[in-house]
Amino acid sequence: MDIQQLTDFSPEAIDKAFAAVLADAQSTIASPGFDAEAFRLEWLGRKQGRLKQLSDAWLKTAPVEGKKLIGQRFNALKEAIEGALENAGTGTAKVTVSSLDITLPGTTQPVGAEHPLVKTMAEIVDVFRKMGYSTRLGPEVESDFYNFESLNFPPNHPARDTQDTLVIADQEGKPLRERLLMRTHTSPVQIRSMLMEEPPLRLVIPGKVHRNDESDATHSPVFHQVEGLCVDTNITFSDLKGTLDHAMKAFFGSSVKTRFFPSFFPFTEPSADVQISCIFCGGKGCRKCKHSGWIELLGCGMVDPNVFEAVNQRRIELGKDPVYDTSKISGFAFGMGVDRITMMKYGISDIGLLYSGDNRFLEQFA
């Protein structure tokens, strides 16, 4: 191709001239028996290459008003030719130009959706928010002090065995209370909150927890809890019952009944397990509730005075007032498993699906 001198420097004429050069390059690249090395020499050669000639003929001689556009088109052309040459080597020869081609299909951005666990957790939190509770979060890597000691699990207490703990490696050199572990429950955030804040408190604490559990249809080493803590003057077990009864009705529907059974947790005294009437059969008895009519859903109780004492002690160490005076204040706490509630709600039979990251599963909840 002989290089024509440009005489017309209107944008249309410039675009037309560059389009002709590009078309020429494209047809060479697309032709059978295309030789990439020969093409490179012919078009991109530093001294004799066509692009060099083009630059000499069009760019250098252009009048001021045409120079900017020619410069831009020249760079775009060079990029397009180099790109096409690269693609030719991978068998996907295609010349692209950096100007906008509105006929190309757009890139779709799939809209994400909340994971069913996150959705359920937010819905539970919302029930309590409407009762005046606010949300707190805490770390998943926790110290023995927050996860156990301050919650009235003394060292070597058998209650620790109920929480199959995943510990962080190489902590033996530290005093026990400073050793790190993966939190086994959200309860340590009760302590962290009471260290930072003074009563009255009404808090919900959603989060991820970890246990050394073998995976099966109902167990996963990672799962989720929502914790609650209410501390004020004159908080009684009736407040606990009323609050949880209301929360269960707000979450599962107003026909749901609750009942409380004596239980044990080191950090509450007395402690209780809460059951709700079976949401599948209405309490008549079915396979889901093992024909009992009831489903066990959460643990709760009145905050053990030893917990307030541990908080006061630590507050003093931190230079703060020990304001959790057990002669004046009391409180209740509760904790529930989000995964089980989610599985019940959506009819999911294998907890592993919630952690598989499989979009075919997750899309069903979008």
Binding site for ligand DAH (CB under 6 A): 185, 187, 227, 265, 268, 299-301, 333-335
Q: Which residue is nearest to ligand DAH (CB)?
A: 335
Tokens of 222: 């990672």
- Would you list the DSSP string of 62-112? --HHHHHHHHHHHHHHHHHHHHHHHHHHTT------SS--TTSPPPP-PPP
Of 294 and 334, CB closest to ligand DAH: 334
Number of residues that this document lists for the chain: 366
CA distances for 105 relative to 102, 132, 257, angstroms: 8, 50, 55
Q: Which residues pair with 268 in a beta bridge?
A: 265, 303
Residue 155 CB burial class (10 angstroms; 0-12, 13-18, ≥19): exposed
CB 299 → ligand DAH: shortest distance, Å? 3
Alpha carbon dihedral 274, 276, 280, 284, in 10-degree steps, equals 110
Can you read off the two tokens belonging to residue 60? 């250098």
The SS3 of residue 44 is: helix
Nearer CB in complex with ligand DAH: 264/280: 264
Query: Contact 301/270 with Cβ under 8 angstroms?
Result: yes
CB of 185 to ligand DAH, least distance (A): 3
CB nearer ligand DAH, residue 187 or residue 312: 187
Please report how close the Cβ of residue 254 comes to ligand DAH at its closest, in angstroms.
Answer: 25
CB of 364 to ligand DAH, least distance (A): 29
Q: Which is nearer to ligand DAH, 144 or 227 (CB)?
A: 227
Closest to ligand DAH by CB, 251 vs 334, is 334
Any known ligand binding at 269? yes
Q: How far is the CB of 335 from ligand DAH (least distance, A)?
A: 2
Quick one: three-class SS letters along 116-132? Answer: HHHHHHHHHHHHHHCCC
Q: Which residues, other chains included, contact 269 with Cβ-Cβ below 8 Å and sequence gap of 6+? A: 301, 302, 304, 305
Q: How far is the CB of 301 from ligand DAH (least distance, A)?
A: 5
Nearer to ligand DAH, 84 or 298 (CB): 298
Q: From the annotation, which residues make up the binding site?
A: 269
Q: From the annotation, which residues make up the binding site for Mg(2+)?
A: 269
